[in-house]
Chain A
């Protein structure tokens, strides 16, 4: 298997995901409308009611809509990661996953390529959202839009890997909605996306610790710091660590000699 084989396969997997995304316009609009509702309706109300003190990475007072923007970006990526995993479950049920898994390339490479394709789709959504948010008055540091890109790639990888891991454990498409709700909403609400952690601590110490151990919190903080041209090493370590763990477990789960796929093999036996 030459380098060109890997490169062409990678391009093919990314190209297919982009094609599918472009054909699913509803998915694109849904991905934008959800955070925009939070930004335009929810944040507008809280802007008057909630004051954000000067906490890192901010050096001046900021408005609430600026505060929640990194959380909304992470939310877009989390939804996209779950959407990618839904698409993997769908591909498995429809059979097209078999085409990918019978490719003469290492399983880990195929999964990483698929993951990266999902991240590209999420970046497209994120930057479109940022453009709309800019016209709604959310201004972030100009260089932040560029500097945050590596952070957004890493957080996208983490959510994609989490979605991939979930897809390996879900047996039927019908079960997916429940899992999505079980994962997305607790992760989003129990994080620093909507309120700073010190506010949480004032309200409930238990909730504070739940938020603290939630990887979503660290993804939000990584993005938040990156937009202000700073690195939160703590957040970087948590996000990178979680990405590696989720991805390693996904590769294990999709391995033909081990993992969950092996146990799922009960289904085709019935066919013949």
Chain B
């Protein structure tokens, strides 16, 4: 199943993210065990796994918050370890933990980020307008982040991650704590965006309904990949009646913890 899906997706394209044989330990505890997968432009790759599966660790390694001691991570065809801090250039990231400055306005937060990415003020303001309009947040641009609800803060974080036109968007459980309509709107927007702007998206989640049948899927359990391929193919291969069922078949008792439909 893994090989077949991988071949089909490759189709001559260079992945925007390539994780090869990455392992990671916290002291004696192994958090990631020989993890390998690719993320392609224009596609959403869902990283599905229960709490503690290693998703956030993997994100920390890709974003170089700490370095992978083994294996190789390539971003846009270049080794992140060799490329150093420059490897972060093509990345847009929405962390699981909120990262906006609560005491600044939406505009001030976005301008700060734009300056970190080297955007000129005028260009930043134009992009800011576009990104916030797309996420229906333009009216809130002058408000303090502290006064926004969780859903709106998430939208601002997504707008921020897109400001510099990233080739790869990393989303670490971006819909946690949001109501269903807001979650659905964000899922829809990200899928549309991947297609329209040809962005590769790596979406860590433990919610099955955020994954569409055509999405690439990487199932992670206890730090190991247990399935990889297009979501509908994974369901077919496991013989499950839907993704939730396939997931339970794949990871057995671990599925009971921290995964929801």
A interface vs B, CB < 8 Å? 1-2, 4-6, 8-9, 11-13, 15-16, 19-20, 23, 94-96, 98-107, 256-257, 261-262, 265-266, 268-272
Contacts and interface: CB of A to CB of B under 8 A. Distances in A.
Nearest to A258: B67
30 contacts: A1-B118, A6-B118, A8-B119, A8-B120, A9-B116, A9-B118, A12-B114, A12-B115, A15-B112, A16-B112, A20-B101, A20-B103, A94-B99, A95-B98, A98-B63, A98-B65, A98-B93, A102-B65, A102-B88, A104-B117, A105-B85, A106-B84, A256-B66, A257-B67, A261-B66, A265-B66, A268-B57, A269-B29, A272-B49, A272-B204
Contacts, number: 127
B145 to A, nearest CB: 10
A99 B99 contact: yes
A270 B50 CA distance: 11
Per DSSP, are chain B's interface residues mostly helix, strand or loop, or mixed?
loop
A101 to B, nearest CB: 6
B88 A96 contact: no
A272 B104 contact: no
A13 B31 CA distance: 34
B100 interface: yes
Most buried by A among B55, B56, B93: B56
B154 interface: no
A141 to B, nearest CB: 39
Nearest to A99: B99
Interface in B85-137: 85-89, 91, 93, 95-104, 108, 111-120
A256 B67 contact: yes
How many of chain B's residues touch chain A, expressed as a range? 35 or more
A103 B114 CA distance: 10
B65 A101 contact: yes
B198 interface: no
B103 A12 contact: no
Interface string B143-174: 00000000000000000000000000000110
A270 B95 contact: no
B118 A102 contact: no
Given A1-B86, A102-B88, A272-B204, A261 B118 contact: no
Contacts of B87: 104
B26 A265 contact: yes
A265 B115 contact: no
A19 B109 CA distance: 11
Given A16-B101, A101-B65, A271-B96, A5 B118 contact: yes
A269 B116 contact: no
Given A16-B104, A94-B102, A272 B52 contact: yes
Closest 8 CB pairs of A and B: A12-B115, A5-B118, A95-B99, A257-B67, A104-B89, A95-B97, A104-B88, A272-B55
